Amino acid sequence: MEGGRDGHGRSSDGRLDVVVLGTLSRAALLRWLPTLYWGGHLRHPRVTRELARAVAVTSALPVPLQLDGEPWGASPFEVTVCPGALRLRG
């Protein structure tokens, strides 16, 4: 299935859909959490989205990592796209 600029990455473009959430209060986070499903969170001024072929994150303290919404460890980490490495049926 193909997505687009609505917050859903494209599986065939060879790029990562990188979404970074800035500092939010717990109340603001709870208010915006339901918008993750349809891409509305991308309109929040503390949320940024970029497309990249590789991402490296380092930090003084561990930062949680999620891949496709699933917990996957913490920083430091590096993620690189391998175009064509996985075939999807749909």
Residue 48 falls inside a structural domain: yes
Is residue 29 packed enough to be buried (19+ CB in 10 Å), middle (13-18) or exposed (0-12)?
Answer: middle
Residue 41 falls inside a structural domain: yes
| 5, pLDDT greater than 60 | no
Residue 1 falls inside a structural domain: no
Residue 63 falls inside a structural domain: yes
Question: Which residues contact residue 17 at a Cβ distance below 8 angstroms, ignoring those fewer than 6 apart?
Answer: 3, 7, 8, 9, 10, 49, 51
Residue 66 falls inside a structural domain: yes
Contact 65, 73 (CB under 8 A): yes
Q: What is the pLDDT of residue 3?
A: 43
CATH number at residue 45: 2.60.200.40
Residue 87 falls inside a structural domain: no
pLDDT tens sequence across 26-73 = 888 888 778 777 777 777 788 888 889 999 989 999 988 887 778 989
pLDDT band at 4 (very low <50, low <70, confident <90, very high): very low
Domain extent, residue 52, equals 16-80
Number of domains within the chain: 1
- Which residues lie across from 64 on neighbouring strands? 74
Q: Say what the pTM is.
A: 0.60
Residue 11 falls inside a structural domain: no
Q: What is the pLDDT of residue 1?
A: 34
